[in-house]
A = this chain, B = another copy of it.
Amino acid sequence: MTDIKLRSDVTAKLVKSSATDVDVVQAARVSTQGAESLGSDKKPAGLINFLMRDRHGSPFEHTSFTFLIEAPIFVAREHMRHRAGWSYNEESGRYKELQGVVYMPAEDRPLVQVGKPGAYHFEKGTFQHRGSVLGSMRVAYGEALRQYHNMLDDGVAREVARMVLPVGLFTSYYATCNARSLMHFLSLRTISEGSTFPSFPQREIEMVAEQMEEALSAAMPLTHTAFQANGRVAP
């Protein structure tokens, strides 16, 4: 029988970063100090807050974060809509037999949408809703993977057989960004108190974003503080 593994979490593991608040300060100070800006690290908090507030965004770009993300295909689809300042490489259904790891919403994941487009919210749903999702997903995921393997066993090419696989299947990809493109992503893909603008992320990409935000906060605490203090608007 086809082996299926259910997952309710996602991971955005920081592979490496080259990103500090001082990188921002040096790049910003070149405006007023020229080449003497190199090594500059005086009063970074005030400068970084000033840059964030007045939307001087380019100094935040001289930084780099690389993540290895494991998430369902529908999350990767949303993520890769971000173009400027983002690089990606993803697991291939053409070059690799895909594993049977599929996404199943966790207990606390709201399942019911109330309201209409532009003005709705989510509610947890009843025991009945939860049962519907669990049951339907098990059946559909199971059948998709069974038929995928049937085709592979029959000698059909991976790139053809994979057409039946669901967007809830897990994929893995590297994503590299800079602090500016990351803040732009966070501003759209998280919901947070104190945001100047509203955002409407699907919960699963927000789970990715939350892990990325921790990496930003750890590597560039002054930048992250200024981002939060200025309404989470990417500069």
CA distance A139 to B54 in the complex (A): 38
Task: Report copies per complex.
Answer: 4
Closest to A120 in B: B157
CA distance A113 to B154 in the complex (A): 12
Q: Is the interface of A mostly helix, strand, loop or mixed?
A: mixed
- Beyond A16-B18, A137-B163, A143-B140, whether A132 also contacts B156 by CB under 8 A is yes
Q: Does A70 contact B (CB under 8 A)?
A: yes
CA distance A87 to B85 in the complex (A): 9
Assess whether B155 is in contact with A112, with CB atoms less than 8 Å apart: yes
Assess whether B23 is in contact with A89, with CB atoms less than 8 Å apart: no
Additional 14 contacts, C-beta under 8 A, given A31-B95, A136-B150:
A18-B18, A27-B89, A27-B174, A32-B117, A34-B171, A64-B64, A73-B77, A110-B157, A112-B157, A113-B157, A132-B155, A140-B144, A141-B164, A163-B167
Assess whether A86 is in contact with B87, with CB atoms less than 8 Å apart: no
Q: Does A42 contact B (CB under 8 A)?
A: no
Interface residues of A in 97-129 (CB under 8 A from B): 99, 103, 105, 109-113, 117-118, 122, 125, 128-129
